[in-house]
Chain A
Amino acid sequence: MQAFEIGLNPATFGWLLVGLLVAPVAGGLIAGVDRILTAKCQSRVGPPLLQPFYDAAKLWGKETKVSNVWIAFCSWMYFTAAATSCVMFFLQSDLLIIFFVQAVGAVFLVIGALSVPSPYSQIGGQRELLQIMAYEPLLILVFVGIFLATGSFNISAVYAMDKPLMLESGVVPMVLLFVVLGYALTIKLRKSPFDISGSHHAHQEIVRGVFTEYSGRYLALVEVAHWYEVVLVLGVVALFWATSWYAIVILLVLTYAAEILVDNITARLSWRAMLGKLWASGLALSFVSLAWLYAF
């Protein structure tokens, strides 16, 4: 049985550990770098690199008080789903399934927020659902594009290719899909202009939206789960030029720098503007690129 072979195969087991243990550390460091760079954009010095870890550890040590016990349940479900999806990414599993497992976490985050009758967390939960609704079709279509280029939804198929994914079928369709992926990335990183449900910054017009009622160690879990998700989405970004480590690093640095820039120069949209802009432009771009891929 293959399930047991996973344990016996040292390479697979190694990747499992990378996904489980190294990924959240990397995610936390990325968050630290993000905060420093954002501060630099605003002519500030910013916090230490390890600040996200201090924050999470402090939250873990706080008193646990919740207004509904489902917050405890949902934060753990979110954490489990995020970690599982990240591990599945490193095990080169099926992109769609990875993404659906990630969606389990997203749905439980919302259920937790909705389980408390506080107006702020209720609005945050509703807006989070709108965000999910906005990015989910785009991600599915990006994966379909990858399928059309490689013949499989499995990540292993991307690594098996000689050419970078970005250069498949005359560059244009894959670059368009990469832009679409960028939209989804912005939502998943909780960055402006799409941070309507709960900003990664500390403060917004609906307090902290979907996170308002998560406190103490449950908020710590949500934070760490978020690091897993960031690594997962950046991993999908890396797939577009996965033929060399240099290329991966350069692509990730450029993409993330662009995200930080966009975050600093844009204002938060309303849900209607977000949904309209994302669906209109995202669907148009992915439709064109998929049609292109079908044609060749």
Chain B
Amino acid sequence: MLDSFIKKSRIKSPWLLHFDCGSCNGCDIETLACLTPLYDVERFGIINVGNPKHADILLVTGCVNHRNKHVLKTIYDQMPEPKVVVAIGACGLTGGVFRDAYNVVGGVDKVIPVDVYVPGCPGKPEAIIDGVVEALGKLSEKQNAAAAAVAAE
């Protein structure tokens, strides 16, 4: 019973970590707009935490460069399982207009596995919320897969 409640709770309590990987702040403004009364993502139990150790979903905006790729990787590694990653905006997806710059690695998925891509320049708040909901589906898939792996052992 506790297990099923925990499963249900995972979907109902996604804590976000928002990492700005070198964005122009367009996507960041739209992401934070989700917290405002207009969109109020706390309705879905979403909290914007500042700490990877407490987070379930990593929201990344902006393109990855050689200097901050380690930071992105470290933060991702510090998140406890189960976790999912949502890349936001054109830059987060592919590197966007910066992708050919000498210091740019590219999209987020060059460094860490990305589960959901939210396109846009910037991504609209509705699209970001949609992406998070999509990510929750992935989260429950992951947890089912993990449970199956445990059962197989």
Contact = CB atoms under 8 A, between A and B. Distances in A.
Q: Answer yes or no: A and B touching, Cβ < 8 Å.
A: yes
Interface of A: 35, 39, 42-48, 51, 53-58, 60-65, 202-204, 207-208, 211-216, 219
Contacts of A51: 12-13, 45
B110 interface: no
A215 B81 contact: no
Given A39-B40, A43-B37, A46-B43, A58 B6 contact: yes
Contacts of B43: 44-47
Interface of B: 2-3, 5-10, 12-13, 15, 37, 40, 42-45, 47-51, 53-54, 56, 78, 80-82
Given A43-B37, A44-B37, A57-B5, A208 B13 contact: no
A182 B12 CA distance: 33
24 contacts: A39-B40, A44-B43, A46-B40, A47-B42, A51-B12, A51-B45, A54-B8, A55-B45, A56-B9, A58-B12, A58-B13, A60-B2, A60-B6, A61-B9, A62-B80, A65-B53, A65-B80, A202-B48, A202-B49, A202-B50, A208-B54, A212-B51, A214-B53, A219-B54
A215 B13 contact: no
Nearest to A53: B9
B98 to A, nearest CB: 28
Counting from the closest, the 4 A-B pairs by CB-CB distance are A61-B6, A57-B9, A215-B53, A63-B80
A66 to B, nearest CB: 9
Given A39-B42, A45-B43, A63-B81, A203 B49 contact: yes
B10 A58 contact: yes
Contacts of A53: 9
Nearest to A50: B12
Contacts of A60: 2, 6
Contact of A54 (B3, B37, B45, B81): B45
B52 to A, nearest CB: 9
